[in-house]
Structure 1
Amino acid sequence: MLNGHHPKSLSMTEQEEFADALLDQISVEINEEHDIATLSSRIKEDPDFKARFDSPRQIADQITPDLRQRVGEFIGIKVSPDVKIEFPELEELKGIKGKKVFATQDAREFVDKLFLAVAKQSRQGIADLVKLDTAKFLVYSTYAKSYISKISTTYGDYLDSKIYINNFVLSNYPQIVLYKQGSPYEPGYEMIKSGYVGALKMTILEEMVHSIQNNLYEENKKAVTEVNKINEDLAKIILTLDDGIVTKLSDYLQLPAVPDEFPIAKRANLFFMLNPDNFIVNVLGPDVMTFTKVEIDPTIQQMIPQILETYQRWLLPIQRHHAAFSTMEGMAEFSVQNILKDDEDFHQYLATFMGTDISSYQVRKNIGKDFTGVVFGKYGKETFQILIKNPPTTRELKDPQLYLKRVF
């Protein structure tokens, strides 16, 4: 039902089906969290494992002053003293991820409740929200699935002058990595400890860079909020289609058959197929990020007359989001690679936690990082002020020379 899930039982309400589908889609993450917690408990109870590591907070206290200085020197902008570091536990961190969803003003409370329900794995809580506002659920459940399913691979985040460190993951990983190497543990301890410190250096440094991206952040937030409003509008349109059109359009798009007893599920499948983030990008390809107009299959437009105008409204804000977000991420990755390129702890992190090395890490392709590198090659540390003040377009992101000509 949700993103291609199918109803299982007529004894369940449709709302419960949606809740089960969403929880099923994050089950891999939930299982991973359970495995980490279980293995960590076993390690603590193992009398042969005597290795101990400082907490993320203890290490952060030691390395943060130096990182603030190094970031300021490299990017030419001081990290505000108001930026604090916090260490939320897992459930709280999931709620914070919900705050990072740039929902419409009308949907803000709904999104917060949805992320809380998902964090608690509350089937009834999710089902109640589906019933409360199905259109909002269709739009924002995708974020819940995407954000929460990546928690165990997310080390940190930034929001409203706070750097959030994933305390659950980072306080458990060093022991787990060392434990999995097997006894004797002493020979590998220092390397794992160094890699652990390197992971925290990378995370804090990256989020410090995000903390100075004010104008880019606002540009991205505004664009994403517009995209979400458009997706909410599309969800409402599809939910109000009559049964005949829903059936005809579902057949035309070759969607899996859904029993008539599940009318919302039928429309949900249509929404997930026709959502522009999915449909336009899959049909037109990634080059849509430089298009000025879209075209739509006449048969689809005949059945949903508003869809072309909806897609056209979506095009500009999604491009602004893509450009701003890619630049933000690129600036952060470029900074990490340059500031930590000779840092032994970071090298150990790449080796022990990522199974790679600095050379392989530096050659990874990233459109935002590569764009930042071109501008940096010409303007050095002024680059960051320039990019924050004058965000690139998607065309300029692909061709930095266009950006350099426009801005200078």
Structure 2
Amino acid sequence: MSSMNGGTSRAANPLCHLSLDQLQLRTSEKWHAFPRDVLPLFVAEMDVLLAESVVRAITDAVTRGDTGYPAGTAYAEALAEFARKRWDWEGISVERTAMVPDVMRGIVEILDVISCPADAVVISCPVYAPFYHFVEHTGRRIEEAPLGADQRLDFAALEEAFERAAQHGPRPVYLLCSPHNPTGTVHTANELATVAALAARHGIRVVSDEIHAPLVMPGAVFVPYLSVPGAENGMALMSASKAWNLAGLKAAVALAGPAAADDLARIPAWVQESPSHLGVIAHTAALRDGTSWLDDLLDGLDANRRLLADLLTEHLPGIRYQPGEGTYLAWLDCRNLGLGDDPAAVFLGHGKVALNSGPSFGTGGAGHARLNLATSPELLAEAVRRMAAATAIATAC
């Protein structure tokens, strides 16, 4: 046992299996974007080895030369079984699913079938930066509905944004992030039912990005948007990519409520043929056989959440941090440190720690930074020490 990770067994914790030297051999974005002396805790990649079931599935496929185009419904079937066991949700009908290359591409395709470029898209900010990039690339207008001070949905702000969106075009959309990135907020069933009721009142279609759904910490419960009353014409996107660290093996599933099946069917066939076949195999194996690995990961992430809170209290008490109920992302309020709108730039420049820039998440992001805590307890502790040193240097100037 180790006090560094809150008593979690290091042998079982997937976050404790790789050294810094081993991680620096990786060529993915997280370990390639910055020089070797920078500690990267930004992009959503985890410092883990893959679940054995996933490694076995990929290796077997490559051994038999099974590297063609994706086909069949195995991914959707595995997701439906996972949802039944994990969330006690029987609501995934394989007939109302479609494979898509990844969640963001799926969002764009859904926007194209349920709205047009003249329509507005509502987002609850601060929120995952690609929401802005992808929506704006389609030519659609963005209406922001800022979160409340408690980092939860502010329904007064949301209704105001819905009203503005409804005036702008005939088929407005609300792009929901559930669990929320970057705050880690897990929306309750009552909150989601309120979203559905407001959306119905204002003629808004809801599309829910649920990529972080398996990453919910002890004490919190993930509620699929399509499971709440009033969500029958909603759509959602899910993927095993975040929970099992499979971002490089692209595949996702789009789901439709009973009243949205015809919309889902209009997604072009070539889009549904675009996921990686190896990705589909890997994601299917993760959902079917990787739950024990996921449980060990969640224990390790929960320990890291508590460790981060302790480290910040000791080294950077000026940072306000409310541990999220989901995801492996920490939303750090650094406004009391006096580091300006973009504290991540200070941590990088003076401390050689790469975090995500708060302003990139939209309104409410200034003075914040997002930290990826899916790493070893040792690297997390080193990152906070570097951030504290960077703050001391910056504020002494």
TM-score by length of 1: 0.24
Decide which structure has greater helix share. 1
TM-score by length of 2: 0.25
Decide which structure has greater strand share. 2
Q: Which structure is larger by alpha-carbon Rg, 1 or 2?
A: 1
